[in-house]
């Protein structure tokens, strides 16, 4: 069956920044600059080479220091490569034109960005979302949308069969669908709790059990699990959401372990994404305690990282901004220090005020999907 795709050029709009210039100065920006200059092995070796070009003797202190610094960075670089190779194995070859990509929750937010990029590139892209997308919009974006409640096992299996018939066996699965209610624990109804876990957690089991067998038989695949930094922290008024996202951390670890023990699963790559606060409409009212240390992340930045690693055929973890990479170390600190840091971050107050304000202004559960 041949499915034609009409791909339109992205529209450009002129917009001016609404925030002061210093708002965009973050620790992540400074680290990026350092990694590409002072902390880069290649740049570091330019220093002793420049000194040597000036006939500086090897016994000179400046020469010794620069050689030692460049050698240290080079050693750390190769140790990092070895660590990644041991942890994640070799990258697999990925040709987007030969892959079938499935994105859950891809009708809006982060999932929509990922789907639209692959759609513009002419890839075989299928989106599973409870929101119905008009046929004209789907053709314009080069995406095939399937209306599906990913929390419903039967619907996932039925749509999975349709995707295989229309596009072929899926080889890239991006589990992105999620919902949030933003209520205190005692205010949550049993139906809301169950709904959160069905969409945020059980949907991953449904899609994995539906599409993983095809990947194993094809001996190739990539699975992306989108969780959240809140899975490590918990937060007031987000008990169901954070618990459902924390479950994904364990699921991802178990999936990696099972694939490593399977001869067919060794060419299947896995990615775990635990981003910080995203600048989505849902969290527009939530203020970060420090735009320097904990900047709000644009969904497009997360999408770029996911697409980059998927295209490279790599396994790994995506954690941005910088603080999300070290958040697990919070648990080794004294409980008193943890309490102080939570109070300073304002995480519990921010979620109570910001998220609740946004949700009260939103009508319908499906509009809370992100």
| Cβ atoms within 10 Å, residue 117 | 17
Secondary structure element (H or E) that encloses residue 116, with its range? helix 109-120
Task: Match 């094809």 to its residue by tokens.
Answer: 218
The token duo for 251 is: 């699921």
> Pairing mode, if any, of strands 172-175 and 100-104?
parallel
Contact 345, 337 (CB under 8 A): no
3-state secondary structure of 194: helix
Stated as kind and residue range, the H or E segment containing 226 is: strand 221-226
- Dihedral-angle region of residue 252 (phi above 0 means left; psi in -120 to 50 means alpha; beta otherwise): alpha
Collapsing DSSP to helix, strand or coil, 90 comes out as coil
**Is there a contact between 130 and 136 (Cβ–Cβ < 8 Å)?**
no
| 3 state DSSP class of 93 | coil
Q: Which helix (H) or strand (E) holds 78?
A: helix 61-88
Look up 88 and say whether it is catalytic.
no
State the first-to-last Cα distance of the chain, in angstroms, to the nearest integer. Answer: 32
Q: Exposure string (b/e) for 198-221, b if CB count within 10 Å is 16 or more?
A: bbbbbbbebbbebbbebbbebebb
- Alpha-helical (H) ranges within the chain are 27-35, 41-53, 61-88, 109-120, 135-141, 153-166, 190-197, 203-218, 239-261, 299-312, 323-326, 335-345, 347-350, 356-360
Tokens for 296?
A: 């709000």
Between CA 68 and CA 60 the distance in angstroms is 12
Query: For residue 296, which phi and psi values (nearest 5 degrees)?
Result: -75, 135
Residue 277 has phi, psi (to 5 degrees) of -65, 125
Distance between CA atoms of residues 334 and 328, nearest Å:
13
Catalytic residue selected from 118, 145, 146, 241 = 241
Active site residues: 241
């Amino acid at each position: 069956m041949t499915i034609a795709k009409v791909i339109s050029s992205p529209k450009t709009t002129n917009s001016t920044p609404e925030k002061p210039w210093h708002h965009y100065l973050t620790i992540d920006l400074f680290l990026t600059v350092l990694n590409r200059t002072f902390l880069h092995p290649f740049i570091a070796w330019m220093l002793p080479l420049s000194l040597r070009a000036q006939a500086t003797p090897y016994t000179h202190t400046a020469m010794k220091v620069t050689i030692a610094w460049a050698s240290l960075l080079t050693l750390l670089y190769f140790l990092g490569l070895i660590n990644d190779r041991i942890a994640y194995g070799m990258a697999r070859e990925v040709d987007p034109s030969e892959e079938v990509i499935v994105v859950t929750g891809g009708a809006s937010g982060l999932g929509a960005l990922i789907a639209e990029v692959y759609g513009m590139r002419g890839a075989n892209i299928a989106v599973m979302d409870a929101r119905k997308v008009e046929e004209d919009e789907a053709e314009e974006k080069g995406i095939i949308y399937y209306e599906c409640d990913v929390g419903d096992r039967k619907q996932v299996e039925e749509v999975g069969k349709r995707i295989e018939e229309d596009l072929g066996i899926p080889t890239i699965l991006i589990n992105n669908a999620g919902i949030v209610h933003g209520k205190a624990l005692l205010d949550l109804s049993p139906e809301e709790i169950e709904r959160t876990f069905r969409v945020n957690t059980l949907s991953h089991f449904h899609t994995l059990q539906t599409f993983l067998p095809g990947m194993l038989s094809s001996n190739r695949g990539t699975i992306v699990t989108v969780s959240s930094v809140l899975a490590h922290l918990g937060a007031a008024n987000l008990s169901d959401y954070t618990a459902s996202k924390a479950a994904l951390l364990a699921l991802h670890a178990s999936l990696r372990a099972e694939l490593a023990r399977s001869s067919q699963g060794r060419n299947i790559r896995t990615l775990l994404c635990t981003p910080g606060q995203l600048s989505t409409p849902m969290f527009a009212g939530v203020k970060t305690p420090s735009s320097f240390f904990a900047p709000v992340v644009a969904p497009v930045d997360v999408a770029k990282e996911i697409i980059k690693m998927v295209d490279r055929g790599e396994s790994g973890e995506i954690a941005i901004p910088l603080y999300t990479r070290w958040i697990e170390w919070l648990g080794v600190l004294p409980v008193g220090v943890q309490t102080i840091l939570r109070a300073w971050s304002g995480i519990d107050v921010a979620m109570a005020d910001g998220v609740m304000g946004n949700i009260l202004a939103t009508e319908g559960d499906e509009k809370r999907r992100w």
